């Protein structure tokens, strides 16, 4: 009954998996034709076995994805796919021999005195037994997926599936309306109320309470989901058997891997193209230079209205911002450049701040620590600017550059923390970053033990860097390929203790 029950899930097999994990060349076992029982094994062995191995590779990728996804429908779909696939493999093995276990008994040389020695050659026998072993390991995943599905019921609505007989069952309370069956190609309805997608500021207000868009609103915490160790070990064993089978095929490299396809698509979406470093190889040979892709700020934000696994690496974790210096006690200054609207902006935290100007079409190679090609007033401001030394004044200074207000320095131009994005323009940035202790950021009353560390505030790691960048390519999604160069590193600014 279980096998018939799960066979109803098969039409949803591909639609329930994210696009990045699908193999475009994969043909689901549901859509493929059943192998005729009368087909001679020797003529079709490699063709059929290769299809089964490819389907098994794709199935493993979908199972791995479902195990770390909070979506209950993905887990239900792979359950049915697992049952159907193992039955297809059993049928294929049984057509060669009614007792695959006897053929592939451990400790026996399958290439000699095998019941299939006259029917299959040495390579085919190894493929046959590798498929048998991998299929036996796959069956161990069934109870694990059952257990995981029950846990997914804590996150999303697990609605009833259609009856095996196709009968219509009415709701026990509202008997007039039939039950709404789930569509496994869509996300399950989360039980928790989705969080509001609010445009929250990345700034941390130190020493005061920051206003929120909704009073006293606390967004729900996304779930943290890790794949079980026993399932990962079983999948690793299955992959080992599949690798042993693949090397026995006459045509090498005939299998595709969804993880590799997903990684290629991910790099295409968020990373620079592979040929771009070669295009700018001459510039990149200069010291303290680099190239990276500046993405819209939304790419770095998790969607609060969609249930996600918070353990999944974010875009900024997979493609970190370029580092501008050497690490100092865990602190490394970075160029956290983003596109906000149609402007370049550095997304810093705490009391970190920066300011920038558009220099126009000045090549990066002509800029140095003295900024000779830059207008005199701009040059003097960027080279002679002195940051405040008090924590409160640092936050005020940051707001001056963000808003452009209360800029009382002797300079007839308003300097902002952002600048309009223009292709093939060079931008000059003064970036100040501080590693403020967590006990200061929290703003909570300090215990007597914590107060003795306040004198370390004068020794916090910090950086004051003059850097220039130049966008050299714009993509349709609004992202830019940017070249950057560190021009000068000022003495590390310090915060004075009152």
Dist CA 307 CA 389 (whole Å): 43
- Predicted confidence at residue 99, as pLDDT, reads 87
- Predicted confidence at residue 228, as pLDDT, reads 94
Do the beta carbons of residue 138 and residue 56 sit within 8 Å? yes
Asked if residue 157 has pLDDT above 80, the reply is no
- Predicted confidence at residue 389, as pLDDT, reads 87
Specify the DSSP class assigned to residue 474: E
Average pLDDT, the chain: 80
The confidence band for 370, taking pLDDT boundaries of 50, 70 and 90, is very high
Q: What is the mean pLDDT of residues 197-208?
A: 52
Q: What is the mean pLDDT of residues 271-293?
A: 95
Q: Which H or E run includes 355?
A: strand 353-360
Residue 285 has a CB neighbour count (10 Å cut-off) of: 8
Q: What angle, rounded to 10 degrees, do the helices at 72-96 and 122-139 form?
A: 140
Asked if residue 124 has pLDDT above 60, the reply is yes
Q: Which H or E run includes 55?
A: helix 41-67
Do the beta carbons of residue 156 and residue 193 sit within 8 Å? no
Asked if residue 480 has pLDDT above 60, the reply is yes
- Predicted confidence at residue 154, as pLDDT, reads 75
Q: What is the mean pLDDT of residues 172-187?
A: 64
Quick one: what percent of the chain has pLDDT higher than 90? Answer: 47
CA–chain centroid gap for 294, Å, is 17
Asked if residue 16 has pLDDT above 50, the reply is no
Q: Which H or E run includes 339?
A: strand 337-340
Asked if residue 168 has pLDDT above 90, the reply is no
Dist CA 112 CA 126 (whole Å): 12
pLDDT (tens digit per residue) in 214-223: 666 676 778 8
Q: Which residues of 67-87 are buried (b: 16+ CB within 10 A; e: fewer)?
A: bebbbbbbbbbbbbbbbbbbe
CA angle 433, 437, 440 (to 5 degrees): 110
Least confident window among 78-92, 198-212, 257-271:
198-212
Pick the residue with more confidence: 410 or 468?
468
This prediction has a pTM of 0.77
- Predicted confidence at residue 147, as pLDDT, reads 93
Phi/psi for 242 (5° steps) reads: -65, -40
From the list 378, 333, 343, 344, the residue with the least C-alpha distance to 486 is 333
- Predicted confidence at residue 188, as pLDDT, reads 73
Pick the residue with more confidence: 69 or 30?
69
- Predicted confidence at residue 30, as pLDDT, reads 38
Q: How many CA atoms lie within 13 A of 419 on its CB side?
A: 23
Asked if residue 495 has pLDDT above 70, the reply is yes
- Residue reference for tokens 């259609």: 162
Highest mean pLDDT among 56-60, 105-109, 182-186, 206-210 belongs to 56-60
- Predicted confidence at residue 97, as pLDDT, reads 86
Q: What is the mean pLDDT of residues 135-147?
A: 95
- Predicted confidence at residue 21, as pLDDT, reads 39
Dist CA 349 CA 328 (whole Å): 18
- Predicted confidence at residue 452, as pLDDT, reads 61
Pairing of strands 353-360, 418-420: unpaired
pLDDT (tens digit per residue) in 400-448: 898 888 887 767 788 999 999 999 999 999 999 988 776 666 555 666 6
Q: Which sign does the torsion angle of CA 452, 455, 457, 462 carry? A: negative
The confidence band for 198, taking pLDDT boundaries of 50, 70 and 90, is low
Pick the residue with more confidence: 404 or 467?
467
- Predicted confidence at residue 59, as pLDDT, reads 97
From the list 400, 303, 402, the residue with the least C-alpha distance to 347 is 402
Dist CA 272 CA 266 (whole Å): 11
Dist CA 179 CA 159 (whole Å): 9
The confidence band for 65, taking pLDDT boundaries of 50, 70 and 90, is very high
Exposed, middle or buried, 104 (CB in 10 Å: 0-12/13-18/19+)?
A: buried
From the list 296, 292, 345, the residue with the least C-alpha distance to 320 is 292
- Predicted confidence at residue 364, as pLDDT, reads 95
- Predicted confidence at residue 200, as pLDDT, reads 47
As beta bridge partners, residue 355 has 430
- Predicted confidence at residue 256, as pLDDT, reads 93
- Predicted confidence at residue 26, as pLDDT, reads 39
Residue 352, CA distances (Å) to 55, 104, 366, 393, 417 in order: 51, 65, 28, 12, 11
Dist CA 479 CA 471 (whole Å): 10
Do the beta carbons of residue 461 and residue 447 sit within 8 Å? no
- What's the chain's Rg over C-alpha atoms? 30
pLDDT (tens digit per residue) in 98-117: 888 888 875 455 555 666 76
Asked if residue 331 has pLDDT above 80, the reply is yes
Asked if residue 25 has pLDDT above 80, the reply is no
Q: What is the mean pLDDT of residues 494-498?
A: 69
From the list 458, 464, 453, the residue with the least C-alpha distance to 487 is 464
- Predicted confidence at residue 114, as pLDDT, reads 65
């Amino acid at each position: 009954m279980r096998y018939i029950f799960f066979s109803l899930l098969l039409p949803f097999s591909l639609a329930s998996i994210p696009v990045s994990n699908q193999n475009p060349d994969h043909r689901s076992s549901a859509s493929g034709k059943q192998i005729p029982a009368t087909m001679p094994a020797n003529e079709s062995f490699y063709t059929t076995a290769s299809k089964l191995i490819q389907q098994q590779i794709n199935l493993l990728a979908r199972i791995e994805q479902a195990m770390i996804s909070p979506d209950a429908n993905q887990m239900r779909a792979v359950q049915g796919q697992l049952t159907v696939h193992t039955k297809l493999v059993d049928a294929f093995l049984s057509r060669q021999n009614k007792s695959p276990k006897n053929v592939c008994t451990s400790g026996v040389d399958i290439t000699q005195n095998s019941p299939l020695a006259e029917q299959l050659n040495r390579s085919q026998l190894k493929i046959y037994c590798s498929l048998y072993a991998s299929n036996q390991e796959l069956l161990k995943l069934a109870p694990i997926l059952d257990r995981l599905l029950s846990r997914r019921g804590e996150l999303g609505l697990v609605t009833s599936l259609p009856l095996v007989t196709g009968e219509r069952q009415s709701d026990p309370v509202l008997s007039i309306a039939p039950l709404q069956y789930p569509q496994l190609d869509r996300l399950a309805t989360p039980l928790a109320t989705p969080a509001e997608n609010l445009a929250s500021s990345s700034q941390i207000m130190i020493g005061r309470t920051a206003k929120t868009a909704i009073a006293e609103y606390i967004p729900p915490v996304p779930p943290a989901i890790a794949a079980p160790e026993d399932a990962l070990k079983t999948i690793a064993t299955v992959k080992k058997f599949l690798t042993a089978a693949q090397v026995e095929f006459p045509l090498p490299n005939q299998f595709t891997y969804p993880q590799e396809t997903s990684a290629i698509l991910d790099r295409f979406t968020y990373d620079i193209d592979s040929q771009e470093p070669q295009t700018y190889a001459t510039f990149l040979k200069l010291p303290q230079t680099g190239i990276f892709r500046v993405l819209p700020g939304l790419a770095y934000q998790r969607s609060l209205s969609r249930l996600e696994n918070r353990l999944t690496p974010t875009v900024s974790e997979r493609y970190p911002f370029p580092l501008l210096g050497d690490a100092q006690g865990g602190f490394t200054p970075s160029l956290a450049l983003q596109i906000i609207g149609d402007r370049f902006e550095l997304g810093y935290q705490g009391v970190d701040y920066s300011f920038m100007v558009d220099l126009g079409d000045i090549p990066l190679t002509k800029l140095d620590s003295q900024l000779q090609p830059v207008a005199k007033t701009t040059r003097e401001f960027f080279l002679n600017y002195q940051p405040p030394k008090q924590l409160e004044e640092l936050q005020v200074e940051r707001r001056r550059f963000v808003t452009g207000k209360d800029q009382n320095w002797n300079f007839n131009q308003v300097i902002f923390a952002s600048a309009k994005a223009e292709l093939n323009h060079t931008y000059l940035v003064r970036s100040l970053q501080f590693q403020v202790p967590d006990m200061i950021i929290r703003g909570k009353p300090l215990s007597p033990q914590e107060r003795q560390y306040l004198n370390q505030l004068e020794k916090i790691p910090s950086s004051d860097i003059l850097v220039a960048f130049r966008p050299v390519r714009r993509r349709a999604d609004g992202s830019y390929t940017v070249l950057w160069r560190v021009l000068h590193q000022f003495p590390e600014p310090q915060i004075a203790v009152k």
